[in-house]
Amino acid sequence: MGAGKTSVLHALAQSGRFEHVHDLDVEIAKRAGRSISAIFQSEGEAFFRSLEEETLEELLNLGGTLAIALGGGAILSRQSRKRLLSAGQLVTLMAPIDTLVQRLEDDSTRPLLEGEAASRREKLAHLVATREPLYRECHIVLDARRSPEELAEEVLRRTQTARDAVPLGERSYAIRYGDAKEALHEHLRGRAHLIVCDENTEQWVERFGLDAPRAVLRAGEANKNLEAAEQIWNALRKSELDRHGCVVAIGGGVVGDLAGFAAATWMRGVPFVQVPTTVLSMVDSSVGGKTGLNIGAGKNLVGAFHQPEAVFCDVRTLSTLDPQERRAGLAEVVKAAMLSGEEAIALLERDTKNLTRDSASFEPNEEATAATLRAIRMAIRLKTEIVVKDERESGIRRLLNLGHTYGHAYEAASGYGRLRHGEAVSIGLSLCLAVSERRGKLRDFSYPARIRSLLQSLSLPTSPPPLPIEKIATALRLDKKKRGDAIPFLTPLAPGSVVEEILEIEELEATLEAILGSRG
């Protein structure tokens, strides 16, 4: 309250951009036939919140272009926050307590601030402190110490860019889609930052017009190691970046994981930004806060959870990617569709032709660009929904490992060079469907053939390379999810349905041997 939401709403109404413009508190009072203060006094806050949630839902169902000024407590309802984040773009106006107190000095209509001036300030400070983590769960945060007209102009400008939100309280961040150049400059303005890229993605540092110290890594999964992390730490020391600065990762999953790990461990944690340049990193590693590196004993065994403060997905960066590398990333998209359900799988089946256009024709082709963006957003939204429920992979987030048990094993056994990660995941998805078939778990018997057909149409492998079973078994025993001689295994049952079982590694080895033997 006092941030200026209603004043900004009036300024937005003057733009002519919206078919419906509503102040939520005004609509509640109109429906109740009495003021907000009167509702609080006669029915209490719980009744008001219920009425607020009901009225908000009615407004969101109006259709057309819509702008709503929310009451300061409207986001207290988890259901309302989730609805707002999915329905459009949620903007939070923030201002210092002194500014809010000054604006509300002569306002006697606030039931939560009743009392003397000193107690009003104390109550307001308490409200802000307790609600701030929820206020951060939005798409855009703006400093409200400007005129309503200036704020309305910025709201209109910023909401032209598509965004999704990862609502994690004070660790919340937005995923922005589209041309990243201007958005990056705006995000980094006035802040010291270090750019981390590799030999292949350094060209995008230039294209984005970024002029800052940089650490240029050797490209490839084989270089996701302690030596590369130390290279970033040394660059951070040389640039004298402190906790007010920012690490900017421009590249695929290797760059993002290493930059995130270096940021998590430099001065016990500095902010970092993800600018993923591969399909795989856009839909997987850039979202969720997993960072890390590989050691001789296995992949990603050293790491930390450290959420980025923003993610910028610019599909133009895919135009310079090797076509098969781009297609390999689609395995994670297929995985997301399997977890999401029928609608997502059908979306990929319809868009297959445009998703596999070659690199030379990708950038100028609107249909290919739109199809890629649809696929990426579908996968990101699925991952976001899971991450919000289970940030540190103690429960439902393990679903994102679908296809990865066998996939990681083949990736490790082949020396992290013969198979791209996405190709390994594609093989893993095919094998976990075969496990489901052999164990009689399927609810949809056409499901395995359908997914294999989809993977093949995306130029992804569904049969593993010829490697000794013993080598795969050794890799399975090094899986970081292992529990003694068993391992949690995700078995797909039907579109959108997966069950986790604890299977003996010997059983997985025997099943794999039987599957490969049956295929000759």
Among 401, 411, 420, 509, the active-site one is 401
Q: What angle do CA 191, 159, 330 make, to 5 degrees?
A: 85
Among 5, 163, 290, 420, the active-site one is 290
Written as one string, the DSSP assignment of 119-150 is: HHHHHHHHHHHHHHHHHTSSSEEEE--S-HHH
The verdict on domain 5-160 having CATH code 3.40.50.720 is no
Note whether 5-160 and 174-321 share their fold.
Answer: yes
- Residue (of 293, 305, 340, 328) closest to 407 by Cα position: 328
Which structure tokens are listed for 261?
């790990």
Homologous superfamily assigned to 389-518 = Dehydroquinate synthase-like - alpha domain (1.20.1090.10)
Among 120, 408, 420, 452, the active-site one is 408
Residue 383 among the catalytic residues: yes
**CATH classification number, 174-321, choose in 3.40.50.720, 3.40.50.10490, 3.40.50.1970, 3.40.50.2300:** 3.40.50.1970
Question: CB within 8 A of 487, min separation 6: which ones?
Answer: 405, 476, 479, 481, 502, 503, 505, 508
- Residue (of 173, 89, 98, 88) closest to 136 by Cα position: 173
Among 27, 52, 221, 332, the active-site one is 332
Report the pLDDT value the prediction gives residue 364, as an integer from 0 to 100. Answer: 54
Among 81, 121, 158, 383, the active-site one is 383
Tens of each residue's pLDDT in the chain, 520 residues:
899 999 999 999 999 999 999 999 999 999 999 999 999 999 999 999 999 999 999 999 998 999 999 999 999 999 999 999 999 999 999 999 999 999 998 888 888 888 776 788 899 999 999 999 999 999 999 999 999 999 999 999 999 999 999 999 999 999 999 999 999 999 999 999 999 999 999 999 999 999 999 999 999 888 999 999 999 999 999 999 999 999 999 999 999 999 999 999 999 999 999 999 999 999 999 999 999 999 988 778 899 999 999 999 999 999 888 888 899 999 999 999 999 999 999 999 999 999 987 644 445 588 888 999 999 999 999 999 999 999 988 889 999 999 999 999 998 888 766 788 899 999 999 999 999 999 999 999 999 999 999 999 999 999 998 888 889 988 998 888 889 999 999 999 999 999 999 999 999 998 888 888 765 4
Residue 145 among the catalytic residues: no
Residue 306 among the catalytic residues: no
Residue 224 among the catalytic residues: no
Among 404, 411, 423, 509, the active-site one is 404
Report the pLDDT value the prediction gives residue 360, as an integer from 0 to 100. Answer: 47
CA 18 to chain CA centroid, Å, is 28
Cα separation, 329 vs 337, in Å, equals 13
Residue 11 is classified by DSSP as H
Which 3-state string (H, E, C) describes 438-463?
Answer: HCCCCCCCCHHHHHHHHHHHCCCCCC
* Domain ranges, ordered by start, for the chain: 5-160, 174-321, 389-518
Residue 158 among the catalytic residues: no
Residue 481 among the catalytic residues: no
Report the pLDDT value the prediction gives residue 362, as an integer from 0 to 100. Answer: 44
Among 120, 176, 224, 421, the active-site one is 421
Among 61, 116, 268, 366, the active-site one is 268
Among 139, 187, 326, 397, the active-site one is 397
Residue 34 among the catalytic residues: no
Report the pLDDT value the prediction gives residue 372, as an integer from 0 to 100. Answer: 94
Report the pLDDT value the prediction gives residue 296, as an integer from 0 to 100. Answer: 85
Among 393, 437, 500, 501, the active-site one is 393
Residue 401 among the catalytic residues: yes
Cα separation, 373 vs 229, in Å, equals 31
Exposed e or buried b per residue across 142-172, where buried means at least 16 C-beta atoms within 10 angstroms of its C-beta: bebebebeebbbbbeebbebebbbbbbeebb
The model's pTM: 0.89
